[in-house]
Chains A and B, each alone.
Chain A
Amino acid sequence: MTQMLASRPLKFYGEGISYLKKTESKGSLIVVEGPDGSGRSTQIDMVTGKLEADGHAVITTGLKRSELIGAGILEAKHKLPLGKKTLALFYAADFADQLEHKIIPALHAGYVVLADRYIYTLMARSSVRGIGRAWSHDLFGFAIKPDLVFYLDVPPEELFHRVFQKYGSLDYYESGADMGLSDDLYESFVQYQRGIAKEFRAMETKYGIVRIDGGKAVPMVYADLQKRIDDYLRNLRNP
């Protein structure tokens, strides 16, 4: 019944990585996007459990987790305010490190890579801060096109309550505090998240992002997500 998986060529958004020796893989790259408090990590945990139970090797990656520069990003944030492009490039460097040291090797080894955020969050953050979409798109010309991209959409007002309940405070950048949107932190958060959500809508068609209503109960969101992933994986084996 299950057929041997065929290797598929890695696809890139732009110029790709020309020095890459192996340009095919049997793995899959599945991205879950969404703001803090949208339930990304909960969903990823549940999906991981199910996929592993089904016999898939799964690895999860996220932004800001690279050993090389991850810590540096956090330090830099607190010292001097960094310029928009500087920050965007910093995150891109960190992403490149993870892509080449973690994601690509895992894909080559046939893993299902579940990415807790990907380039879209980075592009959305840049865009709301006034960086041109075209430049961001070009910047990530070396990024692999994922097989599936989900966006957990939750209204900003609801996010605010979730984040506050969980952490008791708001993250500086996630609430757009660096942008001087409003003196009122709630207002600033809502405006910022609205801007991010708008960017995601603008990216939907171009990048094939599937929007999922993240405002629903966790089991319902999960059922939707898991079904789409299962369908995709089944289709890979029985095209």
Chain B
Amino acid sequence: MVEGIDGSGKSTQVHLLDKWLRSMDLKVFFTEWNSSDVVKEITSKGKKKALLTPTTFSLLHATDFADRYERNIAPLLEAGYFVLADRYIYTAFARDVVRGCSAQWVRKVYSFAAVPDITFYFRVPPDVAMERILEGRPKLKYYEAGMDLNLSNDEYESYRIFQSRIVEQYESMMQKDRFAVVDGTLDIEEQQELMRRHVMPLLPPEIMAKQQRAARPEAAYR
């Protein structure tokens, strides 16, 4: 699972991880936060009207997650798939708490979700993330900027405050939830190498051996 704020580079990295696992003919399933078809329409309707209270907002995202979890994640994990998730329950823990929900309550709601084998946390200063976001998309979305929290009338200022609060939440979870921290300011290749090293022990033994030989060419000559 990969976690981190918008613009932390996690989506790029999970894509590369996906490619790598598939190149070894492993069974991989990729899932994204807030992407269930059934729930999507309803959530976005509410989002447009800016009517969602933090509790409703939280529960709709939980519904979306549950749908993906019950339909895909749980059965595929059981079938031995590598499930890659761009954002997992920790996104809810961070965002919903910043929006004012009780941390205990949010954790209880998501208590049915399996604890990931690895949670990569992409650590990036909010300013860097903001720069990256603004490069690609000139305008910030209402909820993404945390405008519903009335932090500031200026959406860029609001975004900065909102994201830094989310970072605080992530940082507070780092130890307890055993995040594997990835320095999101490193080169893309460096980050990916670090991630692959983490994933290696999860690979089936025969594939792992092959990968290790490839990673250390000198060992292959012995």
Which A residues lie at the B interface, using CB under 8 A? 14-19, 68-69, 72, 76, 79-80, 82-86, 88-90, 92-93, 96-97, 99-101, 135, 138-139, 141-142
- Chain B contacts of A96 at CB under 8 A? 53, 55-56, 59
- Chain A contacts of B39 at CB under 8 A? 76, 90
Which B residues lie at the A interface, using CB under 8 A? 38-39, 41-42, 45-46, 49, 51-56, 59-60, 62-63, 66-67, 69-71, 99-102, 104-105, 108-109, 111-112
Q: What is the chain A residue whose CB lies nearest that of B46?
A: A68
One of B45, B67, B108, B109 near A68 (C-beta < 8 A):
B45
Q: What is the chain B residue whose CB lies nearest that of A143?
A: B55
Assess the A83–B66 pair: CB atoms within 8 A: yes
Q: Give me the 6 closest cross-chain CB pairs, A-B, nearest first.
A: A83-B70, A19-B100, A93-B59, A15-B102, A72-B42, A138-B108
- Chain B contacts of A93 at CB under 8 A? 56, 59-60, 62-63
- Chain A contacts of B101 at CB under 8 A? 18-19
12 A-B interface contacts by CB (under 8 A):
A15-B102, A68-B42, A69-B42, A86-B63, A86-B71, A89-B109, A92-B59, A96-B53, A100-B56, A101-B51, A138-B111, A141-B105
Assess the A139–B102 pair: CB atoms within 8 A: no
The interface residues of chain B, by DSSP majority, are classed as: helix
> What is the number of contacts between chain A and chain B, taking CB atoms within 8 Å?
92
Assess A139 versus B109: contact at CB under 8 Å? Given A72-B45, A83-B71, A84-B70. Answer: yes
State A204–B112 Cα separation when bound (angstroms). 26
One of B41, B108, B112 near A72 (C-beta < 8 A):
B41
- Chain B contacts of A17 at CB under 8 A? 55
Assess the A69–B46 pair: CB atoms within 8 A: yes
Q: What is the chain B residue whose CB lies nearest that of A85?
A: B66
- Chain A contacts of B38 at CB under 8 A? 76, 79-80, 82, 86
- Chain A contacts of B41 at CB under 8 A? 72
State A151–B35 Cα separation when bound (angstroms). 38
Assess the A89–B62 pair: CB atoms within 8 A: yes
Shortest Cβ distance from residue A73 to the other chain B in the assembled complex, whole angstroms = 8
Shortest Cβ distance from residue B216 to the other chain A in the assembled complex, whole angstroms = 44
- Chain B contacts of A135 at CB under 8 A? 108, 111-112
Most buried by B among A15, A88, A135: A15
State A27–B55 Cα separation when bound (angstroms). 22
Shortest Cβ distance from residue A195 to the other chain B in the assembled complex, whole angstroms = 21
One of B52, B70, B99 near A86 (C-beta < 8 A):
B70
State A16–B182 Cα separation when bound (angstroms). 36
Assess the A142–B70 pair: CB atoms within 8 A: no
State A90–B105 Cα separation when bound (angstroms). 16
- Chain A contacts of B100 at CB under 8 A? 18-19
- Chain A contacts of B53 at CB under 8 A? 96-97, 100-101
Assess the B105–A89 pair: CB atoms within 8 A: no
